[in-house]
């Protein structure tokens, strides 16, 4: 039986990225010229534009500061070491911040690839990229803490799991069941 291809979200699944999101929304809103209420629709709408690039850089600076202070949840390293399949990270954080986190915390070697917002702009584009790379995408399992991502990526005919640390979800226990 083929091993699952695990695709993990970052913030909320692997770590808690402590960013002042209200401040970030205000900065993005100032640049955009209107009140930005959600970054996911913003990234989707402006992907590939100069506004996307400018806002990405501003938010990346906040993410890099947060990355220097955060650590992986305690169950992440054991989950990575236990899991025998392929692991991707697909996140709407910047590529630079993600790479820095995994290298700094000694986890990079467990990952086939890290996909940030810079090259994709949306979670479905990240999943589609993985589906195009992997021979049998029926074995892709997305673990994400946002219902919206689970819903939209589930339409791509992959397995999705809504992960909620507040209700006690544990990544190690989850990968043991895959």
Give the count of alpha carbons within 13 A of 48, CB side only. 5
At residue 131, the pLDDT reads 96
Could you give the number of structural domains in the chain?
2
Structural domain range at position 48: 21-67
Are residues 34 and 51 located together in one domain of the fold? yes
Do 91 and 172 reside in the same domain of the chain? yes
53 & 138 share domain: no
The token duo for 165 is: 């640390």
pLDDT tens per residue across span 26-52: 999 999 999 999 899 999 999 999 999
Under the banding of pLDDT at 50, 70 and 90, the label for residue 160 is: very high
Question: Do 112 and 162 share a domain, yes or no?
Answer: yes
Query: What is the edge-to-edge ordering of all strands in the sheet holding 5-8?
Result: 113-115, 86-90, 5-8, 140-144, 159-162
66 secondary structure, DSSP code: H
* 113/171 same-domain check: yes
| Beta carbons within 8 Å of 116's beta carbon, 6+ residues apart | 91, 92, 93, 94, 95, 96, 97, 98
Residues 10 and 82 in one domain: yes
Q: Output the pTM of the full model.
A: 0.94
Position 1 scores a pLDDT of 66
Q: Which residue has the higher pLDDT, 101 or 138?
A: 101
What is the pLDDT at residue 137? 79
Cross-strand pairs, 159: 141
């Amino acid at each position: 039986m083929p091993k699952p291809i695990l695709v993990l979200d970052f913030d909320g699944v692997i770590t808690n990225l402590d960013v002042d999101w209200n401040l970030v929304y205000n900065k993005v809103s100032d640049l955009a010229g209107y009140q930005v209420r959600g970054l996911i629709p913003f990234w989707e709408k402006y992907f590939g534009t100069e506004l996307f690039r400018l806002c990405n850089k501003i938010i990346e600076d906040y993410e890099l500061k947060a990355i220097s202070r955060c650590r992986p949840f305690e169950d992440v390293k054991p989950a990575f070491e236990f899991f025998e399949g392929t692991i991707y990270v697909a996140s709407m954080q910047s590529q630079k911040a993600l790479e820095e986190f995994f290298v700094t915390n000694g986890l990079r070697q467990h990952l086939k690839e890290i996909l940030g917002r810079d090259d994709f702009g949306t979670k479905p584009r990240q999943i589609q990229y993985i589906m195009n790379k992997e021979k049998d995408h029926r074995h892709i399992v997305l673990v994400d803490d946002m219902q919206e991502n689970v819903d939209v990526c589930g339409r791509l005919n992959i397995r999705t799991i809504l992960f909620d640390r507040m209700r006690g979800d544990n990544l190690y226990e989850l990968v043991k069941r895959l």
